[in-house]
Chain A
Amino acid sequence: GEDVEQSLFLSVREGDSSVINCTYTDSSSTYLYWYKQEPGAGLQLLTYIFSNMDMKQDQRLTVLLNKKDKHLSLRIADTQTGDSAIYFCAEIGSNTDKLIFGTGTRLQVFP
């Protein structure tokens, strides 16, 4: 079945760049998503990328997709303390309504 994996923790200094990585197994994935979850809250959609794209940039966020290796990354430039949260990647295959989520990466930003 489909599987999505992420590292559990990432700690960065304020102002540095953060890179959160994700690998997935479903080769039929059409869209891949990044969600942010702040403490005690629901998930907020940050950005997404279509599988025929290699890169998408949205302000401080850059998504890179290596479809051959089934590897997705989220780069946050100039990381701020407000970026501290859990980040989930998720993928959806063709002809399905179900997102498969990774385990989430807890990003901690220290001054």
Chain B
Amino acid sequence: SQTIHQWPATLVQPVGSPLSLECTVEGTSNPNLYWYRQAAGRGLQLLFYSIGIDQISSEVPQNLSASRPQDRQFILSSKKLLLSDSGFYLCAWSFRGSYNSPLHFGNGTRLTVT
């Protein structure tokens, strides 16, 4: 069966510091990978999605970036965090090439920028 791991679970970082959140998927190959952000009391905002290594689409302009160094690894980064980057970050995967495949989510990372 497939599993998705996301870490860390919580993170407190000062403004201007770098960020690296990691997500890995096990039990499947060539997954679609996604990063979502959920601001407090708000819905989900798609940040990035990837259909393959070095194939990453950015959905919203921001100071965040994403990379996919391996097939089942997805990393969310920032060089300098802003207060507005605080939120709950969720990684997700779906089967590639299977349109309408549901997303399966990790447990999320709660980021607080102070």
Q: Which residues on the A side are within 8 Å of B101 (C-beta)?
A: 97
Against A, the Cβ 8 Å flags (1 = close, 0 = not) of B75-114 are 0000000000000001010101001111111111010000
Q: Report the count of interface residues on B (CB-CB < 8 A).
A: 24
* Min CB gap A39→B, angstroms: 11
Closest to A96 in B: B99
Distance from A73 Cβ to chain B, minimum over Cβ atoms (Å): 18
A43 contact from B42, B49, B90, Cβ within 8 A:
B90
Q: Which of A42, A45, A92 contacts B107 (CB 8 A)?
A: A42
> When A30-B99, A31-B100 are in contact, do A98 and B106 touch as well, CB less than 8 Å?
no
| Number of A positions contacting B (CB below 8 A) | 24
Residues of B within 8 A of A31 (CB): 100, 102
Does A62 lie at the interface of the complex (its beta carbon under 8 Å from any beta carbon of B)?
A: no
Complex CA gap A48/B100 in Å reads 10
- Answer whether residue B21 sits at the interface, using C-beta atoms and an 8 A cutoff: no
Main secondary structure of the interface of B (DSSP, over half): strand
Minimum CB distance partner of B91 in chain A: A42
Give the distance in Å from the alpha carbon of A16 to the alpha carbon of B108 in the complex: 31
How distant is A91 from chain B, measured CB to nearest CB, in Å? 10
The one of A88, A94, A102 that contacts B99, using a Cβ cutoff of 8 Å: A94
B51 touches A41 (CB 8 A): no
Complex Cα distance A75/B95, Å?
A: 28
CA distance A41 to B106 in the complex (A): 8
A30 nearest CB neighbor, chain B only: B100
Q: Does A24 contact B (CB under 8 A)?
A: no
A45→B99 contact, CB < 8 A = no
How far apart are B114's CB and chain A's nearest CB, in angstroms?
19
A-B contact pairs, 29 of them (CB 8 A): A30-B99, A31-B100, A31-B102, A33-B102, A35-B105, A40-B110, A42-B6, A42-B105, A42-B107, A43-B44, A43-B92, A45-B103, A45-B104, A48-B102, A88-B44, A92-B100, A94-B99, A95-B99, A96-B99, A97-B32, A97-B94, A97-B101, A98-B46, A98-B49, A99-B102, A101-B43, A101-B44, A103-B42, A104-B43
